[in-house]
A and B are shown apart, each in its own frame.
Chain A
Amino acid sequence: MTQLTQTSTGLVTDDIALPRRRTVQRTGALSTRNLTQLVSIFGGLALWELVARFLIHNTAFLAPPSLVAIRFWQMLLDGSLVYNGWVSFEELIGGFVFGVAAGIVIGAAMVQWKPVNDALEVWISALYAAPIVALAPILIIWFGFGPWSKVAVVFIMVVFPMIINTQAGLEGVDRRLLLVARSFCGSRWKTFYTVALPSAAPFIVSGMRQSVGRGLVGVVVGELFGAKAGLGNIITTASSVFDMPTLFVAVVTLALAGVILTGILRSFELRLAAWRDVA
């Protein structure tokens, strides 16, 4: 038993609950895997193009990717894509920052003080499981058509997974490290700051990565229900006039944003968890 604690340094808690480990698979510039992915992407686009051009013949029903690409370029030049994208991005970041901050504080409070946990636990697990995006219309009524209603929708999408991940991270702290802090006369706050928080950091960033996708859904749904600008607004107006290319431009932009933001957080997560992989 002691052998186990020795060989695997520090944390031997429940590894299964921890964020996924880095798979050491950074091979050459173009591995077979990358090649297959490229073929898949271009094959898929080609199929879409062929179906749209020769089977459907109706751009109000399905626009081929070539038309979407042209429309993308036009919207980039006339500034409408940048403007609306920026509006959505600001709403996302606003709600995300508030949601992450509140999630960490609430999660930490629930771990530190038992009564807080007992009072909130039931609400949080219920709201996390519920399709909370359904509250978007109510939030639009409360906060209006401007950006703040969307910030609120993103917030409620982000805050619950953040609470739950922060909690899981803080509860998984190695008790032996807490004992070290106590032995060195560590105050409650210093112990939290030097032991609990660093232990939980990989979980917290993992929660942020999971939340960013939910936040994007929040922005779009919020904008669908009522907005003056934003990518969701483009989707609503384009679909009302069957302007498929424009609609797809918005969808593709959202997909790209999701991939990029998740990728950034993923690399952040890997860097933070690097010490785990050394052992």
Chain B
Amino acid sequence: MALIELVDVGVTYRRRGGGETVALARTSLTIAPGEFICIVGPSGCGKTTLLHALDGLQTPTSGRILIDGREITGPGRDRAMVFQSASLMPWRTVVRNVTYGLELHGVPLRDAIPRAQAMIDLVGLTGFEDRHPGELSGGMQQRVNLARALVIDPEVILLDEPFAALDAQTRELMQTELLRVWDETKKTAVFITHQISEAVYLADRVVVMSARPGHVKAIVPVPIPRPRPASARRDPQMFAVEAEVGALIDGAHAEVVAV
């Protein structure tokens, strides 16, 4: 049973002064409920376009995207996005940043705040509720970003390279934390990254994309059992899958160069 179905999805941007850019062409993909999908690919392969289309921020110019059999026409409460830059409101405290989505959904603050508190505890920010984003490290800001998405209790969580700007150690820590939170919340996750090891460590399946126009080149399953503790990174099977994905991406790069 598929939760998300992309059927021949294409996105074409009209360039200023005539001409068109095909960001995404004939992309089809099926995602099962509770699955963790990572999308990797070279820059310009339409990863972010695909994620924005899933969130409803970008309307496909062709094809359809279905969630639970319903076609996506715009942003919805069944999906939440974890943005690449933390994109927190600098004038709001941590707890009020986390309640932000709920407030827009019309949830009264007296209900929103306890729910936000539970998420803040889950992402490990207990005690920082009344801080402002400027007082937090990059990793902590991304935890708030994650909590803000999870608190609306979406079916699908979309993550757009959320750890790209973090240093290597914080990044690995955040990956392990993300898996722990994901295990507890059982959301369907679509995670975009350009780092192969990150994709393989997190995903049930890695979708490799290729550029110009962006399309799905291959889908690589990751047969490593869960839960995956930090030590799973050194599993030989992990290296094998990473090598496979790496080879596919090199191929994708070669295509770009050839074009």
Q: Is the CB of B134 within 8 A of A183?
A: no
Query: Among the listed B104, B132, B138, B164, which residue makes an inter-chain contact with A184, where contact means beta carbons less than 8 Å apart?
Result: B104
Count, chain A residues at interface, CB 8 A: 30
Assuming the A-B contacts A9-B133, A176-B83, are A185 and B77 also in contact, with contact meaning beta carbons closer than 8 angstroms in the complex? Answer: yes
Interface residues of B in 88-147 (CB under 8 A from A): 88-91, 100-101, 103-105, 132-135, 138, 141
Q: Is the CB of B90 within 8 A of A190?
A: no
Assuming the A-B contacts A6-B138, A6-B166, A275-B132, are A177 and B104 also in contact, with contact meaning beta carbons closer than 8 angstroms in the complex? Answer: no
Q: Is the CB of A184 within 8 A of B152?
A: yes
Task: Determine the interface band of chain B, counting residues with CB < 8 A from chain A.
Answer: 20 to 34
Least CB separation from A10: chain B residue: B90
Q: Which residues in A have their C-beta under 8 angstroms from that of B56?
A: 183
Q: Is the CB of B76 within 8 A of A180?
A: no
Q: Is the CB of B89 within 8 A of A6?
A: no
Q: Is the CB of B89 within 8 A of A183?
A: no
Interface of B, secondary structure class, is loop
In whole angstroms, how far apart are the Cα atoms of A176 and B87 in the complex?
6
Q: Is the CB of B152 within 8 A of A9?
A: no
Within the complex, what minimum Cβ distance (angstroms) separates B251 from chain A?
26
Q: Is the CB of A5 within 8 A of B134?
A: no
Query: Among the listed A184, A198, A278, A279, which residue makes an inter-chain contact with B75, where contact means beta carbons less than 8 Å apart?
Result: A184
Q: Which residues in B have their C-beta under 8 angstroms from that of A275?
A: 90-91, 132, 134
Within the complex, what minimum Cβ distance (angstroms) separates A275 from chain B?
5
Q: Is the CB of B57 within 8 A of A11?
A: no
Q: Is the CB of A278 within 8 A of B135?
A: yes
Q: Which residues in B have their C-beta under 8 angstroms from that of A183?
A: 55-57, 75, 80-81, 83
Q: Is the CB of B134 within 8 A of A179?
A: no
In whole angstroms, how far apart are the Cα atoms of A194 and B102 in the complex?
13
Q: Is the CB of A198 within 8 A of B85?
A: no
Within the complex, what minimum Cβ distance (angstroms) separates B65 from chain A?
15
Q: Which residues in B have their C-beta under 8 angstroms from that of A11?
A: 90
Which of A10, A176, A183, A279 is packed against the most chain B CB atoms within 10 Å? A183
28 CB < 8 A contacts A-B = A2-B84, A6-B138, A6-B141, A6-B166, A9-B90, A9-B133, A10-B86, A10-B89, A11-B90, A174-B87, A179-B57, A180-B81, A183-B55, A183-B57, A183-B81, A184-B80, A184-B100, A184-B101, A184-B104, A184-B105, A184-B152, A185-B75, A187-B104, A194-B103, A201-B91, A275-B90, A276-B90, A278-B132
- Kindly list 12 other residue pairs between chains A and B, CB separation below 8 angstroms, not including A10-B88, A10-B90, A278-B132: A9-B88, A10-B87, A10-B134, A11-B90, A176-B87, A180-B87, A183-B80, A184-B104, A185-B76, A187-B104, A278-B135, A279-B134
